[in-house]
A and B are shown apart, each in its own frame.
Chain A
Amino acid sequence: QQQVKQSPQSLIVQKGGISIINCAYENTAFDYFPWYQQFPGKGPALLIAIRPDVSEKKEGRFTISFNKSAKQFSLHIMDSQPGDSATYFCAASILGSARQLTFGSGTQLTVLP
Protein backbone atom coordinates (compact mmCIF):
# COMPACT_ATOMS: atom_id res chain seq x y z
CA GLN A 1 0.00 0.00 0.00
CA GLN A 2 1.66 3.19 -1.17
CA GLN A 3 -0.87 5.67 0.21
CA VAL A 4 -0.06 8.48 2.59
CA LYS A 5 -3.13 9.91 4.31
CA GLN A 6 -3.02 13.53 5.43
CA SER A 7 -5.34 15.52 7.66
CA PRO A 8 -6.88 17.99 8.06
CA GLN A 9 -7.67 19.17 4.56
CA SER A 10 -7.74 22.77 5.76
CA LEU A 11 -6.67 24.50 8.94
CA ILE A 12 -7.25 28.00 10.28
CA VAL A 13 -5.04 29.20 13.12
CA GLN A 14 -4.65 32.50 14.89
CA LYS A 15 -1.31 34.29 14.70
CA GLY A 16 0.98 32.95 17.41
CA GLY A 17 -0.86 29.67 17.66
CA ILE A 18 0.33 26.14 16.95
CA SER A 19 -0.53 24.50 13.64
CA ILE A 20 -0.57 20.70 13.61
CA ILE A 21 -0.86 18.59 10.47
CA ASN A 22 -0.96 14.80 10.62
CA CYS A 23 -0.02 12.04 8.22
CA ALA A 24 -0.31 8.26 8.35
CA TYR A 25 1.18 5.61 6.13
CA GLU A 26 0.79 1.88 5.56
CA ASN A 27 3.95 0.81 3.79
CA THR A 28 6.53 -0.10 6.46
CA ALA A 29 9.25 0.12 3.82
CA PHE A 30 8.96 3.91 3.84
CA ASP A 31 11.97 5.35 5.61
CA TYR A 32 12.17 8.97 4.56
CA PHE A 33 9.43 11.48 5.39
CA PRO A 34 9.70 15.06 4.06
CA TRP A 35 7.31 17.93 4.38
CA TYR A 36 6.84 20.42 1.58
CA GLN A 37 5.41 23.93 1.66
CA GLN A 38 3.76 25.33 -1.44
CA PHE A 39 2.66 28.90 -2.05
CA PRO A 40 0.18 29.72 -4.83
CA GLY A 41 1.85 29.74 -8.23
CA LYS A 42 5.06 28.18 -6.91
CA GLY A 43 6.54 24.73 -6.83
CA PRO A 44 6.67 22.79 -3.55
CA ALA A 45 9.66 23.69 -1.36
CA LEU A 46 11.29 21.20 0.98
CA LEU A 47 10.64 22.35 4.54
CA ILE A 48 11.96 19.63 6.81
CA ALA A 49 12.44 15.86 6.66
CA ILE A 50 12.91 12.99 9.07
CA ARG A 51 14.08 9.39 9.01
CA PRO A 52 12.54 6.77 11.34
CA ASP A 53 15.62 6.39 13.51
CA VAL A 54 14.61 9.55 15.40
CA SER A 55 11.28 10.47 16.97
CA GLU A 56 11.53 14.22 16.54
CA LYS A 57 13.34 16.77 14.44
CA LYS A 58 13.20 20.51 14.95
CA GLU A 59 14.24 23.32 12.64
CA GLY A 60 13.32 26.75 13.91
CA ARG A 61 9.57 26.94 14.40
CA PHE A 62 8.98 23.68 12.50
CA THR A 63 9.03 20.28 14.22
CA ILE A 64 8.36 16.82 12.85
CA SER A 65 7.16 14.21 15.33
CA PHE A 66 7.45 10.61 14.21
CA ASN A 67 5.73 7.55 15.72
CA LYS A 68 7.09 4.46 14.01
CA SER A 69 4.85 1.96 15.81
CA ALA A 70 1.72 3.89 14.90
CA LYS A 71 3.04 4.66 11.39
CA GLN A 72 2.22 8.31 11.85
CA PHE A 73 4.11 11.55 11.61
CA SER A 74 3.09 15.13 12.09
CA LEU A 75 4.25 18.66 11.42
CA HIS A 76 4.02 21.25 14.18
CA ILE A 77 4.40 24.92 13.37
CA MET A 78 4.99 26.91 16.52
CA ASP A 79 4.16 30.62 16.79
CA SER A 80 2.34 30.46 13.44
CA GLN A 81 2.60 33.60 11.32
CA PRO A 82 0.46 34.91 8.45
CA GLY A 83 3.45 34.28 6.17
CA ASP A 84 3.10 30.56 6.96
CA SER A 85 -0.23 30.53 5.11
CA ALA A 86 0.35 27.99 2.36
CA THR A 87 -0.44 24.41 1.39
CA TYR A 88 1.59 21.76 3.20
CA PHE A 89 2.23 18.30 1.82
CA CYS A 90 3.65 15.34 3.67
CA ALA A 91 5.41 12.69 1.62
CA ALA A 92 7.24 9.40 1.99
CA SER A 93 9.77 7.42 0.04
CA ILE A 94 11.94 4.33 0.29
CA LEU A 95 15.71 4.73 0.58
CA GLY A 96 17.39 2.74 -2.14
CA SER A 97 14.40 3.03 -4.45
CA ALA A 98 14.07 5.43 -7.36
CA ARG A 99 13.55 8.19 -4.82
CA GLN A 100 9.95 8.44 -5.82
CA LEU A 101 7.88 10.44 -3.38
CA THR A 102 4.35 9.45 -2.43
CA PHE A 103 2.51 12.62 -1.44
CA GLY A 104 -0.32 13.20 0.98
CA SER A 105 -3.38 15.08 -0.18
CA GLY A 106 -2.27 18.42 1.23
CA THR A 107 -3.41 20.80 3.98
CA GLN A 108 -4.28 24.39 3.24
CA LEU A 109 -3.15 26.44 6.25
CA THR A 110 -4.46 29.91 6.89
CA VAL A 111 -2.96 31.94 9.72
CA LEU A 112 -5.13 34.87 10.70
CA PRO A 113 -3.41 38.13 11.68
Chain B
Amino acid sequence: SAVISQKPSRDICQRGTSLTIQCQVDSQVTMMFWYRQQPGQSLTLIATANQGSEATYESGFVIDKFPISRPNLTFSTLTVSNMSPEDSSIYLCSGSGAIWGSYNEQFFGPGTRLTVL
Protein backbone atom coordinates (compact mmCIF):
# COMPACT_ATOMS: atom_id res chain seq x y z
CA SER B 1 0.00 0.00 0.00
CA ALA B 2 1.06 3.61 -0.44
CA VAL B 3 2.34 5.84 2.30
CA ILE B 4 0.83 9.30 2.41
CA SER B 5 2.41 12.02 4.51
CA GLN B 6 1.11 15.44 5.39
CA LYS B 7 2.78 18.58 6.63
CA PRO B 8 2.22 20.13 9.07
CA SER B 9 0.71 17.54 11.40
CA ARG B 10 -0.94 20.31 13.39
CA ASP B 11 -0.96 24.07 13.61
CA ILE B 12 -2.53 26.87 15.57
CA CYS B 13 -3.27 29.94 13.46
CA GLN B 14 -4.68 33.39 13.90
CA ARG B 15 -7.95 34.49 12.37
CA GLY B 16 -7.51 36.04 8.92
CA THR B 17 -4.32 34.22 8.04
CA SER B 18 -3.82 31.36 5.58
CA LEU B 19 -2.25 27.94 5.95
CA THR B 20 -0.97 25.64 3.23
CA ILE B 21 -1.05 21.91 3.88
CA GLN B 22 1.21 19.63 1.89
CA CYS B 23 0.41 16.05 0.89
CA GLN B 24 3.06 13.68 -0.45
CA VAL B 25 2.44 10.14 -1.75
CA ASP B 26 5.34 7.73 -2.03
CA SER B 27 4.13 6.47 -5.42
CA GLN B 28 2.20 7.87 -8.35
CA VAL B 29 -1.57 7.95 -7.98
CA THR B 30 -4.23 8.91 -10.46
CA MET B 31 -6.55 10.63 -8.02
CA MET B 32 -5.92 12.76 -4.95
CA PHE B 33 -8.61 14.11 -2.66
CA TRP B 34 -8.92 16.51 0.24
CA TYR B 35 -11.36 15.89 3.09
CA ARG B 36 -12.36 17.73 6.23
CA GLN B 37 -13.22 15.93 9.44
CA GLN B 38 -14.59 17.63 12.51
CA PRO B 39 -13.55 15.86 15.74
CA GLY B 40 -15.83 12.89 16.33
CA GLN B 41 -17.50 13.33 12.97
CA SER B 42 -17.38 11.71 9.56
CA LEU B 43 -15.33 12.80 6.57
CA THR B 44 -16.58 15.45 4.16
CA LEU B 45 -15.01 15.68 0.73
CA ILE B 46 -13.72 19.16 -0.07
CA ALA B 47 -12.40 18.60 -3.57
CA THR B 48 -10.69 16.32 -6.04
CA ALA B 49 -7.19 17.52 -6.89
CA ASN B 50 -6.66 17.15 -10.62
CA GLN B 51 -3.15 17.02 -11.98
CA GLY B 52 -2.49 19.85 -14.40
CA SER B 53 -5.95 21.38 -14.12
CA GLU B 54 -8.23 23.10 -11.66
CA ALA B 55 -9.55 21.10 -8.74
CA THR B 56 -13.15 19.91 -8.69
CA TYR B 57 -14.93 21.26 -5.62
CA GLU B 58 -17.89 19.78 -3.78
CA SER B 59 -20.96 21.77 -2.93
CA GLY B 60 -20.23 24.26 -0.18
CA PHE B 61 -16.52 24.56 -0.92
CA VAL B 62 -15.02 27.19 -3.22
CA ILE B 63 -11.65 27.75 -4.79
CA ASP B 64 -11.13 31.18 -3.24
CA LYS B 65 -11.39 29.68 0.24
CA PHE B 66 -9.62 26.38 -0.44
CA PRO B 67 -7.20 26.77 -3.36
CA ILE B 68 -5.62 23.44 -4.33
CA SER B 69 -2.59 22.65 -6.40
CA ARG B 70 -1.46 19.36 -7.87
CA PRO B 71 1.71 19.80 -9.89
CA ASN B 72 2.41 16.08 -10.36
CA LEU B 73 1.12 12.58 -9.60
CA THR B 74 2.60 12.39 -6.09
CA PHE B 75 2.04 15.83 -4.54
CA SER B 76 -0.78 18.21 -3.71
CA THR B 77 -1.38 21.22 -1.51
CA LEU B 78 -4.50 22.62 0.11
CA THR B 79 -4.58 26.19 1.34
CA VAL B 80 -7.11 27.30 3.90
CA SER B 81 -7.48 31.02 3.24
CA ASN B 82 -8.62 33.89 5.42
CA MET B 83 -9.20 31.49 8.29
CA SER B 84 -11.88 31.80 10.92
CA PRO B 85 -12.50 29.64 14.01
CA GLU B 86 -15.09 27.70 11.98
CA ASP B 87 -12.22 26.34 9.87
CA SER B 88 -10.80 24.53 12.91
CA SER B 89 -10.86 20.91 11.85
CA ILE B 90 -8.77 17.97 10.70
CA TYR B 91 -7.82 18.11 7.04
CA LEU B 92 -7.07 14.79 5.36
CA CYS B 93 -5.43 14.02 2.06
CA SER B 94 -6.03 10.74 0.23
CA GLY B 95 -4.90 9.04 -2.93
CA SER B 96 -6.27 6.30 -5.15
CA GLY B 97 -5.75 4.76 -8.53
CA ALA B 98 -2.23 3.61 -7.88
CA ILE B 99 -0.71 0.91 -10.01
CA TRP B 100 0.02 -1.12 -6.89
CA GLY B 101 -3.60 -1.69 -5.96
CA SER B 102 -7.21 -1.71 -7.02
CA TYR B 103 -8.23 1.43 -8.77
CA ASN B 104 -10.84 2.11 -6.14
CA GLU B 105 -8.69 1.60 -3.07
CA GLN B 106 -8.23 4.91 -1.38
CA PHE B 107 -5.52 5.51 1.21
CA PHE B 108 -5.38 8.39 3.64
CA GLY B 109 -2.70 10.53 5.16
CA PRO B 110 -2.49 11.07 8.93
CA GLY B 111 -4.30 14.40 8.76
CA THR B 112 -3.49 17.97 9.70
CA ARG B 113 -5.16 19.23 12.86
CA LEU B 114 -5.87 22.93 12.45
CA THR B 115 -6.95 25.24 15.26
CA VAL B 116 -7.89 28.81 14.41
CA LEU B 117 -7.97 31.31 17.26
Main secondary structure of the interface of A (DSSP, over half): loop
A89 and B48 CA atoms in complex are apart in Å by: 20
B103 within 8 A of A: yes
Within A36-63, the residues touching B (CB, 8 Å) are 36, 41-46, 49
A105 within 8 A of B: yes
Q: Report chain A residues within 8 Å CB of B42.
A: 89, 103-106
A45 and B33 CA atoms in complex are apart in Å by: 15
Smallest Cβ distance from A92 to chain B, in angstroms?
10
- A43 engages B110 (CB within 8 Å): yes
Known: A46-B105, A46-B106, A93-B104. A106 touches B92 (CB 8 A): no
- B106 engages A34 (CB within 8 Å): yes
A45 and B1 CA atoms in complex are apart in Å by: 11
Smallest Cβ distance from B89 to chain A, in angstroms?
14
